[in-house]
Amino acid sequence: MDLQKILVVFTLLYAPVLLFSFEPKGPLRSKNYYVPFIPFYSFPGEGAASGEKGSLNVTLAQYYVQDIVSEFHSVSTGGYLMERFTDYEGYVLEPTLSFNPLDSLEAGITSRLHFYYGGIFDSVFEAFHELFGFPNGGRESFPQNDVYISIHTTSGIDLFLDDNLTAIGDTDLFVKWSFLNISAMDLALWGALKLPTGAMENISGSGYADLGLALLADFHFFKRFAFFLETGIVLPGQLLAGKSEYPLPVFHLMAASEFMVTENFSLLLQFKLNTSPIAEGVTVPENITYTAKLIQPMTNILFGAIWKAGPVKIQFNLEEDAFTNNGADLIANLTLSTSFDLY
């Protein structure tokens, strides 16, 4: 059977399935766990669709983070020295509890626990990068499975860690108001207040309360495809309190597409952009070129899948700093969620 006949048979078999319309399950839930952004609030990636009145929603997100950032810089004695700024593996446990008092209103709380450690996968990542000819981030120049974070700026961000650490992170209070729900589109406003339960010295918070405001939009014009937009701004607490003109406000954009393979299973591709809170250079000995990288926006690509049956939803995705390289090398996210009808 030649290719043309195969395509005809496939179309005849699969075309009827495309006539069915399924419920969107996206977007991918994904907080920003790149080190310079961790002290500040970040939007989780939410849909605009309204919930069900009286539902209690429980979510547990788990993030594995792998990152190394190193750069060459010149020294006064001549030549160049390799300097690293982040080199660690991490795990973040992030439970969320929310409630829908009305169909159009959801309020909730998110907390998190950070684990910083050396890990065991440096050799695996080195081998993978060498196999495909990808840049190795300088891993070969430093001890394997090490913990090291050193980012010192004049923008209110001062981070240092050289040992394993477990730390309580900041707590988010949030409200979502779904103010438009029609057959092809949903719109919502998102507001969040980050409470300073973490600490800058533990790379788990800023010590200030942040404010986040966003507009969410869902589009489902097609039977098997859905599209999501999320745009917002984060105002760091130092700025709100008038303590300093830094860190800068963080502007956020998320765009996602979803293909509903079946009623229960979807594949998603997502793009995420956050401008940097850092305005001034990184201060390290001698002259450093890392400054230009840190002030660039974080531009990440996410690919993942969501399975949903009844109130139970399971999400898995991978996240990569694909464009500006101003993001964690790899983030893997497994999120479990369910809901209960209270009335």
Q: What is the pLDDT of residues 63-122, one digit of tens each?
A: 999 887 766 555 455 555 556 677 888 999 999 999 999 999 999 999 999 999 987 766
Reported in sequence order, the residue ranges of the chain that DSSP labels E, i.e. its strands, are 55-74, 80-102, 105-110, 113-117, 148-152, 158-161, 165-168, 171-181, 185-195, 210-219, 225-235, 250-260, 265-274, 298-309, 312-320, 330-341
| Confidence check: pLDDT of 139 > 70 | no
Q: Give pLDDT tens digits for 310-323.
A: 999 999 999 988 77
Look at residue 242 in the predicted model and tell me its pLDDT.
Answer: 80
Higher pLDDT among residues 60 and 285, named by residue:
60
| Confidence check: pLDDT of 27 > 80 | yes
Average pLDDT over residues 220-237: 94
User: Do the strands 185-195 and 312-320 form a parallel or antiparallel pair, or are they unpaired?
Assistant: unpaired
Distance of CA 68 to the CA centre of its chain: 17
Average pLDDT over residues 209-227: 94
Q: Which amino acid is at 259?
A: F
pTM flag (> 0.75): yes
Q: Give pLDDT tens digits for 144-198.
A: 667 888 887 777 788 889 899 999 999 999 999 999 998 889 999 999 999 999 9
Look at residue 144 in the predicted model and tell me its pLDDT.
Answer: 66
- d(Cα 338, Cα 310) in Å, to the nearest integer? 9
- CA angle 181-183-187, nearest 5°? 30
Return all residues near 34 (Cβ < 8 A) that are at least 6 apart. Answer: 67, 298, 321, 326, 327, 328
Is residue 137 left, alpha or beta, with left meaning phi > 0 and alpha meaning psi from -120 to 50? left
Q: How confident is the model at residue 264 (pLDDT cuts 50, 70, 90)?
A: very high
| Confidence check: pLDDT of 284 > 80 | no
In DSSP notation, 86-109 reads EEEEEEEEEEEEEEEEETTEEEEE
Q: What CATH superfamily classification does 26-341 receive?
A: monomeric porin ompg (2.40.160.40)
Maximum CA extent, the chain: 73
Q: Give 334: exposed, middle or buried? Use CB within 10 Å, 0-12, 13-18, 19+.
A: middle
Q: Which residues of 137-171 are buried (b: 16+ CB within 10 A; e: fewer)?
A: bbbeeeeeebbbbbbebebbbebebeeebebebbb
Q: How confident is the model at residue 4 (pLDDT cuts 50, 70, 90)?
A: low
Look at residue 41 in the predicted model and tell me its pLDDT.
Answer: 97
Q: How confident is the model at residue 228 (pLDDT cuts 50, 70, 90)?
A: very high
Q: Give 197: exposed, middle or buried? Use CB within 10 Å, 0-12, 13-18, 19+.
A: middle
